[in-house]
Amino acid sequence: MTPWLVETIGLTRVFGDGAPIKALDNVSIQIASGELVAVMGPSGSGKSTLLNQIGALDQPTSGEVLVAGHSLRTLKDVDSFRAHTVGFIFQLHNLLPTLTARENVEVPMMGHQPAGARRERADELLELVGLADRKNHLPNQLSGGERQRVAVARALANNPPLVLADEPTGSLDTQAGRSLMDLLKELNREHGTTFIVVTHDPAVARQTQRVLVMEDGRILREDKVGSPLEEDLRLWRHSELGECILAGDANIQDKLTLSRSQLDALRGVLSQASRSG
């Protein structure tokens, strides 16, 4: 039994037969329950293909995907897996244009829950994503950011442990993108939902805990993201001022009007940052 929520083992996906394209080339990754992970990489590097494999939307050429300990290859009920184990958020929200926000959120629950329970759950989710007052709006009556929030609520409808988001901020402006990421972080923190977020945007990736960087169908490297404070300290350390403080430059004490003990404390913090980075 694997301790991971998501594990891929030598995952390979080849498209086409004339001039085959290795969209995924022997990808082995592990994601623990409760993580918020970003997947970055240039266009065409295999990010969406990886997400589709993890969500059982596509079959591998070789290799294996395990989700919650189950091999997707031997999955008996793919529909149930898609409905209950994973939620999807895409770049373009894919809301049904003739349904209200509430009805869109109800869609994944159809066939699983009676109408009353569906409606109650949809309202609860719309409130959670900050759209309690937009329940009866149609998608074209909502802003891009609001539509994407409805898509988040819909992804959470059946309370899946795993949500896969493919460039969820890709069609949003900076402000709406930031607020969507804040929402995903909050859901991750408060509800323990595991998120895998594909993004082009370093500012989005920086808000996650770990970044898988892809290139040509492979995992090029893995970056651990520090807390914002650690990141800031790291930047500061490499500044001219940071270097002077670390070097114990006597002039700096006067310039910053710091006491000796304050300067020592600052040096301690900065050298700590340098060690962790």
Which residue ranges make up the site for ligand ADP (CB under 6 A)?
15-16, 21, 23, 41, 43-49
Report the nearest approach of ligand ADP to the CB of residue 157 (Å): 25
Strand partners, 88: 164
SS3 90: coil
Binding mask 30-49 for Mg ion (x = CB under 5 A): ------------------x-
Give dist(CA 11, CA 128) in Å, integer: 36
Instruction: Identify each DSSP E strand in the chain by its residue range.
Output: 6-15, 21-31, 36-40, 62-67, 70-71, 86-89, 162-166, 194-198, 210-215, 218-224
SS3 93: coil
Q: How many residues bind Mg ion (CB under 5 A)?
A: 1
Report the nearest approach of ligand ADP to the CB of residue 150 (Å): 23
43 burial level (CB within 10 Å; 0-12, 13-18, 19+):
exposed
Which of Mg ion, ligand ADP, none sits in contact with 182, Cβ below 5 to 8 A by type?
A: none
Give the per-residue SS3 of 39-71. EECCCCCCHHHHHHHHCCCCCCCEEEEEECCEE
Report the nearest approach of ligand ADP to the CB of residue 216 (Å): 9
Closest to Mg ion by CB, 170 or 277: 170
Which of Mg ion, ligand ADP, none sits in contact with 46, Cβ below 5 to 8 A by type?
A: ligand ADP
Closest to Mg ion by CB, 55 or 161: 55
Closest to Mg ion by CB, 41 or 87: 41
- Break the chain down into helix, strand, coil percent, rounded to 5: 45, 20, 35
Closest to ligand ADP by CB, 189 or 221: 221
Is residue 208 part of the contact set for Mg ion (CB under 5 A)?
no
SS3 34: coil
Is residue 52 part of the contact set for Mg ion (CB under 5 A)?
no
Report the nearest approach of ligand ADP to the CB of residue 20 (Å): 9
Closest to Mg ion by CB, 94 or 143: 94
Query: CB of 24 within 8 A of CB of 11?
Result: yes
Q: Which residues bind Mg ion (CB under 5 A)?
A: 48
